[in-house]
Structure 1
């Protein structure tokens, strides 16, 4: 993969999780205010807010589901094959205490940082490019879902 394309992928992944760069010079697809990525949107939430059920799911479940998907992506990048995954179990979180909520957020940040390292380190092929880009699309989808659920939680 060319360096320009690799840097573009990293830019999009960063915007998904961190929001647009500061100082803000615009955004590619998120809102252009600070903290509009997953970390900014979920970072200020209490464990009680993260545990509120909205249409049968919680912000904690969405956040952990993104972490779980990224873990799977990182395992593929590391080992070259899909790990055994239980997608249903990735939605089992219905409520969290402060320690659990912090652990989910920390786990997501660790998987995110690992993915950024892999983007620079892997020998790219079509399978790995598809895996990284699908992780980007999946995370972006959940950023939108999290933002919508947050509207109901804050009401």
Structure 2
């Protein structure tokens, strides 16, 4: 089974892709993490969507923002891998594709993220470093990180 990526604007997503993306985000960020929050934040329309599919199903995802649309710098958010595929370490190719997408689509190499604290080492392994103290976002410890 192979993971294949594509990057799409919101209006170019198929109904099936959008449904699968929202299902994946809900499964992980709301149900698995037991965190009630408003996932549909009206930012999806501004974002580019990195979609990783395996056998036609969305199993990896992130969204990309140009500078000023989320943070002052370009940004990557909603980074998620389906629980059934995490043992494959597909977070790394997802981040590489996301970082490359920021460079290709926005011409930016400086990327800022709001990372869940438990994933700090993962993001450090992808070239990010902490730029804030720990803070709570939706009752989950986070840290702002930057990739120069």
Would you say same fold, with TM above 0.5? Answer: no
More helix by share: 1
Which fold has the larger relative contact order, with Cα–Cα distance below 8 Å and residues 6 or more apart in sequence? 1
TM bracket (short chain):
under 0.3
Q: Which has the larger radius of gyration?
A: 1
TM-score by length of structure 2 reads 0.25
Q: Which structure is higher in strand share?
A: 2
Q: TM-score with structure 1 length normalisation? A: 0.24
